[in-house]
A and B are shown apart, each in its own frame.
Chain A
Amino acid sequence: MSATPIAAQPPVWRRLIGFNMLTGLALGIGGWFLGAWIGGQMAVGHPYLQGTDQNDVGIYMGYLFAVIGWLVGLGFANYPIGRLLGRAPSLRHHETGSWTRYFRLCTDHKVVGIQYLFGVGIFFFIGGLNAMLMRTELLRPVEQAWPASQYLTLVSLHGTMMIMMTSAFILGPFGNYFVPIMIGARRMAFPRIEALTFWLVPAAGLILLSAIAFGGIATGWTGYAPLADEGRAGMDAYVMSFILIAISLTLVGLNLMATILTMRAPGMSWTRLPIFVWSVLATSILMALAAPVLVASMTMVLMDRAANTSFFVASVGGSQYLYENLFWFFGHPEVYILALPGFGIVLEILPVFARKPLWGYRLAVAGMLGVTLLSFMVWQHHLFVSGMNAGLRPFYMLTTELISIPTGFIFLNAIGTLWRARIRFTVPMLFALAFFFNFLIGGLSGIFLSDVPSDVTTHGSYFVMAHFHYTIVGGLVFAFFGAVYYWLPKMLGFELNETLGKIHFWLFFVFFNLTFFPLFAAGFLDMPRRVSTYAPHLQTLNIFVSASAYVIGLSMLIFIANLIWSLVFVRQPAAENPWVSRGLEWQVPTPVPIENFDRIPVITSGPYEYGVPNAPPVADFAPGALPAAGR
C-alpha cells in the first residue's frame, strides 16, 4: 500500500524494535508486576485485604499499570512528552510507513478502521467459541462437559466479550474508516484520540480473558451487585475491562460526533448526509451520554471490592437497586448503541441494490433520533418484577412500547424502497434483507416483554435470551456482515468470493433461526437463563438448538475461509466502484490515498439519486472553478 521503495526499508527484525504492539505487551506485563507490588504495599495494615486470600487492591493496581505500560509502549506518551520538550505538533510520522503501522499508534483513520476490523473480529470469534462450548454443556440436562463454575465463566465471558466488542462492531471498523470519507473530510476530528480508542480495546479484551486465570466470573455480563462484591478475583478483570471499554466508547462517541458536526465538506447539508452517517451520529450521542454511567457503576463495584465501601451491601445501608438502576441506565441505551448502526447499514445498502432513492429519508432520520431520545427513558423495564417503583411500571410499559414507533419507521423505509424496485440479490443485499426478517421477530417479541403481565412469565427466561439474540445477532451481526461484504472491496482492495459468501449467508441465516426460534419455546416452557442444568423434558429441544448452533459456527469458518482464500490466494483486485453506488466513498480511488482527497470535494447532490433524471454527480472532486477559500 505504501509508495516507499522496498530497498529503503530496514530489515524486518529492526522494525520490530520501537513503539509498537510488542513493546506495549512487554511494558504491559512489566507494569502488571510493578502495579501488583505497589498494591501489595498499599494493603499493608488493612486487615480486610490481608485477611482474605486475595488482594483486590494489588490486582487493580496491576491492571492499571499494565494498561499504562501498554499505552506507553505503543507510543502514546511520545506526543505529550515531545510537546513538553518543544517539538512542533505533527501527525505526519504517524500516518506513513509500511505494514508495521497496523501494529502501532497510527492516526490515519483508515488504518484505525482496519485495526478495529481485525481486533474486534478476533474477540468476536473468541466470544462465539464460548457460545459453542456453552451449547456443548447444554446437550445434557445435568452438568457434564464443564463444572458449574466453568460454565458460568463461559456464560459471563461470552456475554461480556460480545457486548463489549459488538458495541464498536460497526462504529469501530466502518465508522472510523468511512465516516470521514463519506462526509468529504481528510481525517477524524481528534486523530490521536481515535488511535487511543482502538488500542484500549485489545487491552480490555486481554484483561477480560485474564479472568479465567483468576477464578472466573460468576455474574453473567450484567455483573449484578452484591453478587459481584463477593466474586473471586476474576470479577476484578470484569470491572477493569468494562471501565476501559466504557472510556473507549465515550471517546469514540465524542470523536465521531465532533467529526460529523464540524468536518463536513462544503455542500454536505444535513439532508444530503448518508443515512449511515446519521446512524453513527445518533449512536455517538448515545455512547457519549450512556457509557460514562457504566464507568460510575463499575467504579462503585471496584470500591466495594477493593476499599471495603458498601454501595451495594444492604446490611450496612447499601442498595442493590442502585446498581441495577445505574447499570440499566447504561444498559438500555447500550442495546441501541448496538442496534442503530445496523439500521444505518441496511438503509445504506438497500438503495444501492434496489436501484432506487432511499424512500422517506427524513422519516429514517426522525426514526433514529426518536430511538436515541426514547432509549434513555425505558431502562426500568428490565426491573418490572424487582419490587422497585412498582407504581411506575405503566410509565415504563408505555415508553417501551412507544420506542417501537420510531423503530417501525425503519421498516417503512425498507418497504418504500423495495416498492417497484429492481432488486439485485448480491451478498450484502441478502444480509440487509435478512436483517429485516430477524429484527421483525426480535422487535415483536420485545412487545411481549414490555407488557408487564406477559413479562412476569418471560422475564429472566430463555424467551428474553432469544429476543435479544434476535435483535443483536439477527440485527447487528447480520448488518455487520452486510457491511463487510459491501465495503471490504474498498477497504482492502480485493474482491471476496461471491459463492462462498452466499454459502456463508444461507447457512448463517437458516441455522441462526433454527437456533434461536426454538429458544422462545424454551422460555415459554420455563427454562431460566444462565443455567447449566435444566428440566429433562427440554433435552430434545436443547440438542436441536446446540446442533443448529454448531452449524452457525461452521458458517463462520466458511467466512474465514473466504477471507483467506480471497485475500491471500486469489487476490483479485476490486473495481473502484463494483456495486455502481453513488456513495461518496465509492468515488475515491482504491486503495484510498492517505488523506482521501486531493482537494476537499464540493458536494453537489444527495447519495441516493438513483433513477432521478439529470441527477448531478454526487460531488465535484476538483473544485478549481470555485473561488479557492484559503488555498
Chain B
Amino acid sequence: MTTIAGEPVPRHGVRIFAIWLVLTAIAVPLIVLVLGPHLPPPHMTVESVDQRNANIVMTALLVPIALLVLVYFIYSFVFFRETTDAIVDGPPIKGHAGAQLLWIVLTSTIVLALAVWGSYTLIAGAHGAGGGQGPDPAAKPTGYQHALPVQVIGQQWEWTFRYPTYGGIETRDLAIPEHTLVAFHVTSLDVTHSFWAYELGVKADAVPGVDNIAYVNPRHTGLFQIRCAELCGLWHGHMSKKGRILASSAFQAWISAAQKKNASIVKYLPKYSRVYYPAPLRRAG
C-alpha cells in the first residue's frame, strides 16, 4: 500500500497487471493449442498453412492487447466509480511523461515487429502467400519456371479454366495435381471478379486486361471451394463451384479425358493468350 495525502491507496497498477498476466497465461496457450487448429483456412496447401500460421500468431498477439485494455476498463469501472450522487472532482492528473513514452515505445515495437514479420512471410517465406501478384510477381517460389500454368477466366457469372500446356483446352471444372507447383493466371472477360479458392488459400482479383498470377503448392488431395469475392453483378453469389486436387496419375487421366472431349471444339476457342479483349459490354445489368 502506498499513501496519497496520508490515506492508504491500493496499488491498482500492480493488481491490474497481475489479473492481466493470469488471463494472458490462460488465453495464449488456449489460442495456440485449442483454437489455432480450427482457424482458417484449412491446410490443403503450403500457402494456406502459412495463412493459418499468420492467423494464429496474430490472434495470440492481439488477444493479450485486448485483454490489457479490457481488464483495465472493467477494473476502473469497479474501483474508480462515484458511489454517491454528488459530483466530486477526481485528482487533477494531466499526464505522465514516462507512461506516455512507454506506451509509444511498446506499441511502436509491436507494430514494427508485425510489419517486418508480415513482409518476411509474404516475400521470403510464403512467396506471395497465395495472393494475386499481377503479371510480374515480386515473390517467386523456387522452380516457378516449371510451375503448371492454369488460366482462370472470370466472366458474368461463371469460372472457366484453360490449360495452356495441354493444348489450351478450356474446362468448366478445375482440377490440379498434388505436390506440383501451380501458377494460376487469373483474368476476366468483362468486369472485376475475384478468384477465391478457400481451402487452397488463393485469392486473386480477375481484372479485365490483366494477367494476375498466384502460386500454390497443393499438399494433399481433396475437394476445395471456389467462389467470387468481388461484387460482379446480379449472380455474384452464384459463381461458386468445387475444385479438386488429384493425385498425379488421376490428374493425367482427367486431363487426357478432357483433351479428348475438347478435341472437336478447341479450334473454335480464341487462341490461348494471357489476356483477352472481347468487345466491351454495355448495359448488361
Q: Contacts A418-B76, A453-B121: A412 and B285 contacting too (C-beta < 8 A)?
A: no
Q: Are B209 and A452 in contact (CB under 8 A)?
A: no
Return the CB mask of A513-552 against B: 1 if under 8 Å, else 0: 0000000000011101111111100000000000000000
B266 sits at the interface (CB 8 A): no
Q: Are A385 and B205 in contact (CB under 8 A)?
A: yes
Task: Select from chain B the residue with minimum beta-carbon distance to A389.
Answer: B134
How many Å lie between the Cα of A444 and that of B186 in the bound state?
31
A386 sits at the interface (CB 8 A): yes
How many Å lie between the Cα of A398 and that of B54 in the bound state?
16
B138 sits at the interface (CB 8 A): yes
Q: Are B65 and A444 in contact (CB under 8 A)?
A: yes
Q: Are B90 and A459 in contact (CB under 8 A)?
A: no
B76 to chain A, nearest CB (A): 4
How many Å lie between the Cα of A455 and that of B131 in the bound state?
9
* Cβ 8 A contact of B208, one of A314, A361, A398, A611: A314
Of A74-82, A243-251, A401-409, the one with at least 4 CB within 8 A of chain B: A401-409
Return the CB mask of B192-221 against A: 1 if under 8 Å, else 0: 101010100111110111101110000000
Q: Are A321 and B103 in contact (CB under 8 A)?
A: no
Q: Are B82 and A423 in contact (CB under 8 A)?
A: yes
B123 sits at the interface (CB 8 A): yes
Q: Contacts A408-B107, A440-B69: A394 and B283 contacting too (C-beta < 8 A)?
A: no
Task: Select from chain A the residue with minimum beta-carbon distance to B208.
Answer: A314
A137 to chain B, nearest CB (A): 11
* Number of residues on chain B facing chain A (CB within 8 A): 103
A433 sits at the interface (CB 8 A): yes
How many Å lie between the Cα of A583 and that of B62 in the bound state?
36
Return the CB mask of B3-27 against A: 1 if under 8 Å, else 0: 0000001001000000000000000
A130 sits at the interface (CB 8 A): no
A399 to chain B, nearest CB (A): 9
* Cβ 8 A contact of A314, one of B66, B126, B277: B277
How many Å lie between the Cα of A215 and that of B234 in the bound state?
12
A456 sits at the interface (CB 8 A): yes
A239 to chain B, nearest CB (A): 15
How many Å lie between the Cα of A416 and that of B92 in the bound state?
11
A561 sits at the interface (CB 8 A): no
Of B93-101, B143-151, B172-180, the one with at least 4 CB within 8 A of chain A: B93-101
Task: Select from chain A the residue with minimum beta-carbon distance to B214.
Answer: A385
Q: Are B88 and A355 in contact (CB under 8 A)?
A: yes
Of A19-27, A189-197, A219-227, the one with at least 4 CB within 8 A of chain B: A219-227
- Chain A residue contacts of B238, Cβ below 8 A: 533
* Cβ 8 A contact of A230, one of B80, B88, B235, B284: B284
Chain A residues at the B interface, C-beta cutoff of 8 Å: 52-54, 148-149, 152, 215, 218-220, 222, 224, 226-227, 229-232, 310, 313-316, 319-321, 354-363, 383-391, 393-394, 397-398, 401-402, 404-405, 408-409, 411-412, 415-416, 418-425, 433, 436-437, 440-441, 444, 447-448, 450-457, 459-461, 524-526, 528-535, 580, 609-613
Q: List 5 A-B contacts (CB under 8 A).
A: A148-B235, A393-B131, A394-B118, A448-B58, A460-B194
Q: A224-B192, A315-B277, A387-B205 are in contact. List 19 more A-B contacts (CB 8 A).
A: A52-B283, A148-B235, A227-B232, A229-B282, A360-B95, A390-B128, A390-B133, A408-B103, A418-B80, A419-B76, A419-B93, A422-B80, A444-B66, A448-B55, A456-B201, A459-B203, A530-B237, A533-B237, A611-B89
